[in-house]
Amino acid sequence: MPTYAENLNAIKNAYPFAAWRASYHDGLEQYTQENCDAAQHIFDTLITDLIAGGEQASEKQKVALFQKAIEATNELPEDMIETGEREQLCELTNTITLACGLQPEKYSDGEGLASEWREW
């Protein structure tokens, strides 16, 4: 059975950021390497911090890490997160939420933790 850390790290395989980078070559200039790396770094840091806090960290501690991550995504270029990207980031956030032992439907009237703080 995979460990807490293995479950969280496995989520990185489903990141949307490589596809975003590829969109740059299709003329979507907001998806520069720098912008996509910044977005990926936010979620890498969230996963690293959740692992460091451990499976037994309190809900409050885990939620604070999500808040920090989602607020960081709000600082990404505005044109970078459109409808499709918003859905991908919400799904990614919900996947991480489940992997760390929390229930997405408990937050923002069932929309998940991203909707608590997102401005996109």
- On whether the CB atoms of residues 68 and 60 are closer than 8 A, the answer is no
Structure tokens at 112: 């998940």
SS3 77: coil
Structure tokens at 47: 């996963």
Q: 98-116, pLDDT tens digit by residue?
A: 999 999 999 999 999 999 9
- On whether the CB atoms of residues 98 and 53 are closer than 8 A, the answer is no
Task: Taking residues 11-36, report their average pLDDT.
Answer: 95
DSSP designation for 88: H
CA angle, 33 then 34 then 38, to 5°: 115
Global pTM reads: 0.96
Q: 30-59, pLDDT tens digit by residue?
A: 999 999 999 999 999 999 999 999 999 999
The rounded mean pLDDT for the chain is 97
